[in-house]
Structure 1
Amino acid sequence: MSGSLELGHHSSLHQAQDSSKCLDEDGRTKRTGTVWTASAHIITAVIGSGVLSLAWAIAQLGWVAGPIVMLLFAVITYYTSTLLADCYRYGDPITGRRNYDYMATVQSYLAGGIKFKFCGFIQYANLFGVAIGYTIASSISMMAIQKANCYHKQGHNSPCHISGNFYTITYGVMQIFLSQIPDFDEIWWLSIVAAIMSFTYSGIGLGLGIAAVVGKCLQLHTCIANPFLVFTDHFASETENKGLKGSLTGISIGHVTQSQKIWQTLQALGNIAFAYSFAMILIEIQDTIKAPPPSEAEVMKKASLLSTLVTTVFYMFCGCMGYGAFGDDAPGNLLTGFGFYEPYWLLDIANAAIVVHLVGAYQVFCQPLFSFIEKCSAKACPASPFITSEIAIPLGSNRCYKLNLFRLVWRSVFVVTTTVISMLLPFFNDVVGLLGAIAFWPLTVYFPVEMYIEQNRIPTWSIKWLCLQTLSVTCCVVSLSAAVGSIAGIINDLKAYEPFKSSY
């Protein structure tokens, strides 16, 4: 009898040890992320529709200020990401309590209160704005496909006016259905497809920009031997944008008025900031990294450096090649502004990839907002069957979909709201600039700096404290300026715009 008890004791002990091997110290499934997976997550999340406006942003700033500003944003983003990485664990960097998301980190270090509420408001307001921006970008890309085919058949000087309302509503209907997917765990496939599409259209845009700049070399016999250049020979013969264009100071007065030059320069800062706005997801990515040694902070800092370098090089190529191809006429959206006309089918592929990517990206960015509202509602009204009850709908022999009426109504209302606003304000560059301005300073700079100061107990008015606060204040001024420029752009566009009668 005692032998069987001892055997049972050893068996349960082994089971506990085996279980502990599969779990981290917080009881969650053991994390397996590395510097490479973390870098991939960041790059996938960052390289999106914002890259399409970089050629226009460089055009406003010129060959000198454009690349310098982009480098400054990259350096600041990397530096503040290292500050944020140190805040993942509260207390000891190896054994301290983990923070699972951005808001939890702010609450740990800044003790909730007004700063915590401000963080939540900015983060979720930005997610709401991103949903609007993605709806606008998707509808423009769908219109661009029809317009590219029209130009190919009727000539580049044909008006080819197309209404955007149908495409905006179509995108909204798709999102109403996809928004009923309950949570992140069930949209992993959508994220993978979106990531592939992101690199597809960004790569096509970069390739077309390079082909336009080096178009003259297609006349050389040595270049014709290259299959890629043979493939783009027809495209190069169609475009007049051969050779490097642009100026040191950007778009010239005369091409635009002096006031437009000022507002568009400020708006360009917001566009570049939008392209680097990924701080809100860094803590979530860091939470995928396997436990020390080395510490998650060390791994995340390496991943941030690697991903920032890759992203910046890619952005530099896209922005500079687009500006070099078109100069002052650089389109606000590299693939829908019709600086490129041929090959039209390649533009169709690129714009279709944008739509597919943004269909998935909309869900990836909105799921945290959906979850937040639903958790708050369930907490406020736990006894309400409308909010908490679920109806099982069979989908087959082994699967069923759990329909929640509150989720159905609230998410549908959310999508309809973003769709209507997108039809009212279908201005890609202005909205992108405003989103970048709103998100960059508070989420990328202010909160990481404040948490780092609190974590390291940096004395007020010390040299390090002054340097950090100077960085924060400077970025605040830049964000406010970019917001003003974007709002001025929206106001200017509204002067010649009739609601719900957008055409492209």
Structure 2
Amino acid sequence: MRGMDFAIEEGNDFSKFDDDGRAKRNGTLMTATAHIITAVIGSGVLSLAWAIAQLGWVAGPIALVAFSVITWFTSILLADCYRSIDGKRNYSYREVVESYLGGMKVKLCAIAQYSTLIGITVGYSITTSISMVAIKRSNCFHKRGHQDGCHMSNNPFILTFGLVQIVLSQIPNFHELSILSLIAAVMSFAYSTIGLGLSIAKIAEGGHVETSLTGIPIGNDLSSMDKMWNTFSALGNIAFAYAFSTVLVEIQDTLKYGPQEKQVMKKATSIAISISTAFYMLCGILGYAAFGNKAPGNFLTGFGFYDPFWLVDLANLCIVIHLVGAYQVFGQPVFGFVESLSKEKWGANKFISGEYPFNLPFLGTVNFNLFRLVWRTCYVIFTTVVAMLFPFFNDFVGILGAASFWPLTVYFPIEMYIAKSKIPKFSFTWIWMQILSGICLIISLLVAVGSIQGLIKSFETFKPFQSMS
């Protein structure tokens, strides 16, 4: 209401503002769905064939469906909590937790959310560089033959991605990302479809690939302990593939104001998760059918596919374009949190709050802020350096899945919904929700242990800033 009063006092056109005094939101079912698909169908899809190979024909698809249903259910609960009981908007996940739970849980939520978001942007820097290298390696294989290793450093490509993100990070806020998200969503469908097509072609070629109901069998190459760790890491990869709760509230905050606001978000969530799950099932199952127990950790850059080389190049180019946008979807909440906190403390400082309009060709008037430039540039540099230091794809993805799945996807949405709906303690609904949360906590802990074990093994041959593909 203070924002509304301020807008009126300044003589602004009230039709340009929403109920909270902020600029009118223009988000629709289509843009919200695009944002979610951009966030969900990310680098996680690339590791699903490997994850199914660890789990096998039975547990693999069951795990995919289970994570899908849990994510959908808890996302619906979270969408219900976007507005406080008094109707006030909450602009971030942390604000929703503060509104319904408060206390120490707000700090725990902030730690879990922002560390996960930072981790995801680091992970996307790693994945993008691997895809960029894969394009060059694919062309190299085409010219020199498959026997040539064609190995090259990832670092120049991580740096290139970082330079692009420094520019894109100057986009002021989440509300300006609609076009970028739509492009990224189209790209995610494109490379997933290419991957599916290549898998089907490989299956049609014939040839024997070894698969199993229980995944890669224990034997000379795999001890029972390694099998267990790989299984936990595979669950983490699947959990990460559905990670978007960290930005759900920010996506909902882009929707047009109206009585159907909450329903639009729920519908967008249902559509996006349904589409994502269909793609995941196809990519995971057909990828496993194509490669069997030797499925690579990243099925478009692990070079199970060599030809047609131009199609492999196109798929990896689509991954690069998609992750350019996805980095921003996950980075904007971090940017917004630091900038809003800085304005609260040092709002009178022109370096922090001063906006300077610039006219740019084809873009019109763009507001430039010095603090935004410096802080966001430093953030991108940080994620770029970390990506060059720790270029471990599958284990990194597994840890991110473990870190985000239970606290952000399950625990906080359930606890906030219980508080909002005033569900009595020890009632039937309360008990089964707590059981669901407890089971997911155990899974997250097991995944974390498995992924950490994988990282420890990777560190045995690790050399800083010398990652090669």
**TM-score normalized by structure 2?**
0.90
Q: How much does 1:441 deviate? A: 0.8
The 1-side partners of 2:298 and 2:73 are apart by 29
1:316 equivalent in structure 2: 281
Deviation at 1:480, TM superposition (A): 1.4
Q: Which residue of structure 1 lines up, in the alignment, with residue 169 of structure 2?
A: 179
- The question of whether the paired residues in 2 share the 8 Å contact of 1:143 and 1:162 is answered with yes
Q: How far apart in 2 are the matches of 1:113 and 1:496?
A: 43
Q: Which stretch has the larger CA shift, 145-154 or 371-380?
A: 371-380
State how many pairs are aligned.
Answer: 457
Alignment partners' CA distance in 2, 1:41 and 1:178: 16
Match of 2:222 among 251, 256, 259: 256
Partner of 2:239: 273
Question: CA distance change for structure 1 residues 90 and 415 in 2, over 3 Å: closer, same or farther?
Answer: closer
Q: Check whether the contact 2:74–2:413 (CA below 8 A) recurs between aligned residues.
A: yes
Match of 1:430 among 392, 395, 411: 395
Matched AA of 1:64: V
Alignment of 1:26-41 (within 5 A): 26=20, 38-41=32-35
1:56 aligns with 2:56: no
CA shift for structure 1 position 432 = 1.0
Partners of 1:174 and 1:32 lie apart in 2 by 27
Tell me which residue corresponds to 1:86: 80
User: 1:146, 1:69 → 2: CA distance?
Assistant: 35
Which one is further off, 348-357 or 283-292?
283-292
Q: Please report the TM-score for the alignment, with normalisation by the length of structure 1.
A: 0.84
Paired letter, 1:50? G
Report which stretch shifted further, 313-322 or 36-45.
36-45
- Select the residue among 90, 94, 102 that pairs with 1:99: 90
1:191 alignment partner AA: S
1:303-323 per-position Cα deviation (integer Å, ceiling 9, x unaligned): 433332222111000001001
Which residue matches 2:5?
none
2:315 is matched by which residue type in structure 1? A
Inter-CA distance 89–247: structure 2 relative to 1 (3 Å threshold):
same
In structure 1, the residue matched to 2:4 is: none
Report whether the alignment pairs 1:130 with 2:120.
yes
What is the rounded CA distance, in whole Å, between the counterparts of 1:183 and 1:33 in structure 2?
13
Q: Deviations over 1:326-355 (max 9, x none)?
A: 111101011000011111111111111111
Contact 2:356 2:368 (C-alpha < 8 Å) held by counterparts: yes
Conserved 8 A contact 1:198-1:353: yes
Q: Distance in 2 between matches of 1:159 and 1:316?
A: 31
Q: Matches of 1:270 and 1:172 in 2, distance apart?
A: 26
CA distance in 2, matches of 1:398, 1:321: 43
Change (3 A) 1:63 1:105: same
Match of 2:68 among 64, 74, 81: 74
SS in 2 for 1:105: helix
Tell me by how many angstroms 1:391 deviates: 5.2
Task: Find the aligned partners of 2:33 and 2:361 in 1 and give their Cα distance.
Answer: 38
The correspondence of residues 89-488 of structure 1 with structure 2, limited to 5 A, is 89-91=83-85, 96-110=87-101, 112-216=102-206, 242=207, 245-254=210-219, 255-288=221-254, 295-390=260-355, 395=360, 399=364, 401-488=366-453
Mapped to 1, the partners of 2:361 and 2:142 lie a distance apart of 46
Q: Is the 2:92–2:250 Cα contact (8 Å) retained in structure 1?
A: yes
Percentage of identical aligned residues: 57
- Aligned pair in 2 of structure 1 residues 244, 38: CA closer, same or farther (>3 Å)? farther
| Unpaired runs of at least 5, structure 1 | 1-17, 217-241
Distance in 2, Cα, partners of 1:405 & 1:298:
38
- Point out where structure 2 has 5 or more consecutive residues left out of the alignment: 1-12
Larger mean CA deviation between 458-467 and 176-185 belongs to 176-185
Q: Structure 1 pair 163/382, CA: closer, same or farther in 2 (3 Å)? A: same
On the 8 A contact 1:212/1:243 being kept in 2, the answer is: no
